[in-house]
Chain A
Amino acid sequence: EDKVVQSPLSLVVHEGDTVTLNCSYEVTNFRSLLWYKQEKKAPTFLFMLTSSGIEKKSGRLSSILDKKELFSILNITATQTGDSAIYLCAVENNRDDKIIFGKGTRLHILP
């Protein structure tokens, strides 16, 4: 059965800290791994990763995929209170275009 597991489930850090969020997966016919940020309502897209070892970067956020070990990490440096959100990891398969979501990591940044 396809599954995506995120850790930790929740995380509280102080502003300025660096955080690493983890996502491991077991999916047949892997196509891509996706990271989303969800603040109040709908998730917003952050990254799509398809190739192993290539870092995607956007400002203070970066992510990398390891297809051999079946995991991805999302790094946030110099965290700000606006980074407080749920971060969702999802994996797409080639079989039927469905994606499987992890349960998310709830990140809270203290001022």
Chain B
Amino acid sequence: DVKVTQSSRYLVKRTGEKVFLECVQDMDHENMFWYRQDPGLGLRLIYFSYDVKMKEKGDIPEGYSVSREKKERFSLILESASTNQTSMYLCASTTGSYGYTFGSGTRLTVV
């Protein structure tokens, strides 16, 4: 069964901390995505990547960066966490031709 694995289900971090959210897929997918989901705002794209070492900004990249050193791993980095980054973060991957597979999500709380 294909899988997208996010390393943490729940995280609590302090304002100003550097936060790493990890996502690993075992499907050899080229495309990987990071979304955040907030009530009333739906899913919003933060960053995506079509290949190793490739990254593209999504709709709300401010305050975030990403790293894709290996095909199977796509990391989201909050350089200096702020309370408005408290959210559910979802990673997804796709070949581009058959829908998306999502990770189970990471609920991040910044205090």
Contact = CB atoms under 8 A, between A and B. Distances in A.
Interface residues of B, number: 22
Contact of A45 (B31, B43, B58, B99): B99
B43 A48 contact: no
Q: How large is the interface on A (under 10, 10 to 19, 20 to 34, 35 or more residues)?
A: 10 to 19
A88 interface: yes
Interface string A81-111: 0000000101000000111011110000000
A43 B96 CA distance: 17
Contacts of A42: 90, 102-105
A41 interface: yes
B102 A43 contact: yes
B45 A98 contact: yes
Nearest to A101: B43
A41 B102 CA distance: 10
A45 B94 contact: no
Nearest to A99: B100
B33 to A, nearest CB: 8
Interface in A65-85: none
Contacts of A41: 88, 104-105
A13 B33 CA distance: 34
A21 interface: no
B90 A97 contact: no
Contacts of A90: 100
B50 interface: yes
Listed from nearest, the 10 A-B pairs whose CB atoms lie closest are A103-B42, A42-B102, A101-B43, A41-B105, A97-B96, A41-B104, A45-B99, A42-B104, A42-B105, A48-B99
Interface of B: 31, 35, 40-43, 45, 48, 50, 58, 88, 90, 94, 96, 98-105
Interface of A: 32, 34, 41-45, 48, 88, 90, 97-99, 101-104
